[in-house]
């Protein structure tokens, strides 16, 4: 089933701090691949071009299988009440172990999302440990180091919310004694994330030229910092960082459904998104399978049909909310882009946010390989701002930020989605939580939102979720075995 087209520009750790990197040029060069540009480890980390190649390779790895495809969907989405496994009942039935919380430490899908994040961290650490010694433009050097800190923080953010305590590696190992390190308490990991994001936000620019779109910005660092603070209930910090982002010129894209289409990549709402595209004559470099894994099953240009919307999600929208049809492809419908969905396809619903119009399919390439994965967008920032303001008793600010999101969803129709006017803190909190669900559905936030809100037992309990255990996933048993017991297991597994 798995089609690993992940032959991309990688930094491979060779001994202590050595690296082999595929060299690349500019103009979104982290989307290109040039095998002839390989350099021997002894010849690398010498000049500015090497630093640029390393940064480009770091970004390229973000779209790799272990980062945005099958196993990350299992760990970051399958536990949610917004989704079901999809595909056919017998295809990858082990995905239901995540949906029904029966996944144990031997589950094979657990290791890939972890190793994917540590690959990103290795890329970042190689840059942070080696680029400072390169004689190059000082401003560009500082920016590259800030970008590496952002990517490292992003990867640790994904690790800590999924697994809790994890090994914290902030430098390349100096000798063999530093390869096998224990898990750090999650509070220590959160602190490291926040330090990296503070450093990154102080250096990163607000925007880039068209040739460098996709690199981390100041807004991305602030928005991710707000999200890290959200998970720790640091409400003043959430309000502070989201307010800063709200002053940087982002705006909600007018058409909710269209903001996810490939012809609107990196739009006014996008704060950080993983760049993916079709590279002519190079399917191996056009390796994203984010859309393919979730695409409409059984049609040319569709996909495998996993991670499908649930009936519970479909019923969660208020009457007339256009986000329902913009989020869910229904069996038998015709999409806004003109694709007729068969009435007899395997699943009644599919993820419309990962959908690429079938006419854009290129034979010989992964379906939807050109679809970016949006990581941070402005609507999320507004809803974080609303939640923090409400928790701090700033009711009007909370209502204002919430209304901005609902007004865009309303799209000029005054007869739907009435303004939320309650000043009761509990009622407003519930309204904001509901808005996060329908606004950010199928974007890999719902599962973690419910847990951080303390509602895991209430929402997921009927499917087997247990407090004191399922707040995090198990540590893969093979990692514990390989560590000779240095790594320990999460409680209950």
Contact 245, 252 (CB under 8 A): no
Asked if residue 205 has pLDDT above 80, the reply is: yes
pLDDT grade, residue 137 (50/70/90)?
very high
- CATH code for the domain in which residue 399 is found: 1.25.40.390
Confidence of residue 478 (pLDDT cuts 50, 70, 90): very high
For the chain, the average pLDDT equals: 92
Residues 164 and 267 in one domain: no
Give the C-alpha separation, 159 to 401, whole Å: 29
Q: What is the mean pLDDT of residues 193-214?
A: 97
Please state the rounded mean pLDDT for residues 154-171: 98
Quote the pLDDT of residue 11: 35
pLDDT of residue 32: 43
Asked if 236 and 193 sit in the same domain, the reply is no
Q: Does 315 reside within a domain?
A: no
Mean pLDDT of 415-435: 98
Q: Are residues 45 and 133 in the same domain?
A: yes
Here the tokens at position 86 are 């999809």
Based on the domain organization, do 42 and 154 belong to the same domain?
A: yes
Instruction: Output the six-digit token pair for 250.
Output: 């982002």
Percent residues over pLDDT 70 in the chain: 91
In this prediction, residue 28 carries a pLDDT of: 44
Same domain flag for 57 and 15: yes
Residue 253 has pLDDT above 80, yes or no: yes
d(CA 83, CA 85): 7
Strand partners for 328: 351
250 plus 135 within the same structural domain = no
Q: Is residue 358 a part of any domain in this protein?
A: no
**Does 15 share its domain with 123?**
yes
Return the closest-CA partner of residue 198 out of 172, 218, 169: 218
Residue 291 lies in a domain: no
Identify whether 284 is part of a domain: no
Whether the predicted pLDDT of 79 surpasses 70: yes
Residues 27, 127: one domain? yes
394 and 481: one domain? no
Mean pLDDT of 153-182: 96
pLDDT surpasses 60 at 27: no
Residue 71 lies in a domain: no
pLDDT tens digits, one per residue of 307-331: 999 999 999 999 999 999 999 999 9
Angle, helices 138-163/218-231, rounded to nearest 10 degrees: 20
Could you identify the residue written with the tokens 């208020």? 318
Cβ distance 381 to 246 under 8 Å?
yes
pLDDT digits (tens, 9 = 90+) for 373-412: 999 999 999 999 999 999 999 999 999 999 999 999 999 9
Is 237 inside a domain boundary? yes
| C-beta atoms surrounding 164 within 10 Å | 17
Q: What predicted TM-score, i.e. pTM, was given to this entire model?
A: 0.93
* Residue 318 domain-assigned (yes or no): no
Query: Residue 38: its pLDDT value, please?
Result: 57
Q: How does residue 43 score in pLDDT terms, banded at 50, 70 and 90?
A: confident
Residues 309 and 328: beta-carbon distance below 8 Å: yes
Instruction: Tell me the two tokens of residue 444.
Output: 């890999």
- Regarding whether 181 and 113 lie in a shared domain, the answer is yes
Q: Domain count of the chain? A: 2
Give the domain extent around 200: 6-61+104-204+465-493
Q: Which residues pair with 349 in a beta bridge?
A: 330
Cβ atoms within 10 A of the Cβ of 295, count? 28
Q: Which residues is 308 bridged to in the sheet?
A: 84
- The CATH number covering residue 166 comes to 1.25.40.890
Decide if 424 is inside a domain: yes
For residues 233 and 377, membership in a common domain is answered with: yes
Neighbours of 483 (CB within 10 A): 17
The verdict on 120 and 244 lying in the same domain is no
Taking CA atoms, 288 is separated from 244, 309, 480, in Å, by 32, 21, 30
Helix axes 235-246 and 218-231, enclosed angle (nearest 10): 160
Return the pLDDT at 19. Answer: 38
């Amino acid at each position: 089933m798995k089609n690993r087209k992940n032959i991309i520009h990688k930094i491979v750790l060779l001994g202590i701090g050595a690296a082999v990197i595929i060299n690349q040029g500019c103009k979104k060069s982290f989307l290109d691949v040039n095998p002839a540009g390989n350099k021997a480890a002894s010849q690398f980390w010498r000049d500015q071009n090497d630093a640029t190649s390393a940064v480009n390779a770091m970004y390229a790895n973000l779209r790799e299988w272990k980062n945005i495809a099958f196993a990350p969907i299992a760990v970051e989405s399958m536990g949610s009440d917004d989704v079901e496994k999809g595909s056919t009942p017998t295809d990858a039935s082990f995905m239901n172990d995540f949906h029904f919380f029966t996944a144990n430490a031997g589950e094979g899908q657990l290791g890939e999302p972890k190793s994917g994040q540590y690959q990103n961290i290795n890329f970042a650490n190689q840059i942070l440990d080696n680029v400072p010694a390169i004689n190059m433009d000082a401003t560009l050097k500082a920016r590259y180091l800030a970008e590496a800190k952002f990517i490292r923080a992003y990867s640790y953010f994904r690790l800590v919310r999924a697994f809790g305590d994890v090994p914290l590696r902030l430098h390349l190992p100096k000798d063999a004694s530093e390869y096998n390190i224990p898990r750090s308490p999650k509070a220590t990991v959160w602190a490291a994330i926040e330090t990296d994001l503070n450093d990154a936000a102080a250096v990163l620019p607000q925007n880039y030229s068209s040739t460098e779109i996709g690199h981390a910005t100041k807004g991305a660092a602030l928005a991710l910092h707000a999200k890290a603070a959200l998970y720790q209930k640091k409400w003043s910090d959430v309000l502070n960082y989201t307010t800063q982002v709200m002053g940087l010129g982002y705006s909600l894209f007018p058409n909710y459904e269209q903001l996810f289409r490939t012809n609107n990549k990196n739009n006014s709402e996008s704060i950080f998104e993983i760049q993916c595209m079709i590279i002519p004559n190079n399917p191996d470099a056009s390796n994203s399978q984010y859309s393919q894994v979730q695409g409409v099953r059984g049609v040319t240009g569709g996909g495998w049909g996993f991670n499908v919307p649930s009936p519970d999600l479909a019923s969660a929208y208020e009457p007339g909310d256009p986000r329902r049809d913009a989020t869910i492809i229904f069996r038998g419908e015709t999409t806004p882009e003109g694709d007729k969905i068969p009435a007899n396809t395997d699943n009644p619903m599919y993820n419309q946010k990962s959908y690429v119009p079938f006419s854009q399919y290129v034979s010989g390439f992964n379906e939807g390989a050109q679809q970016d994965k949006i990581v941070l967008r402005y609507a999320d920032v507004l809803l974080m701002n609303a939640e923090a303001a409400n928790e701090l008793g700033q009711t009007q600010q909370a209502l204002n930020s919430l209304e901005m999101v609902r007004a865009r969803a309303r799209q000029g129709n005054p007869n739907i989605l009435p303004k939320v006017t309650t000043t009761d803190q509990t009622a407003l909190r519930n309204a904001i939580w509901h808005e996060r669900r329908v606004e950010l559905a199928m974007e890999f936030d719902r599962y973690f939102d419910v847990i951080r809100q303390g509602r895991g037992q209430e929402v997921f309990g009927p499917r087997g979720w247990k407090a004191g255990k399922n707040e995090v996933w198990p540590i893969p048993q093979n990692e514990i075995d390989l560590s000779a017991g240095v790594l320990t297991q999460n409680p209950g597994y």
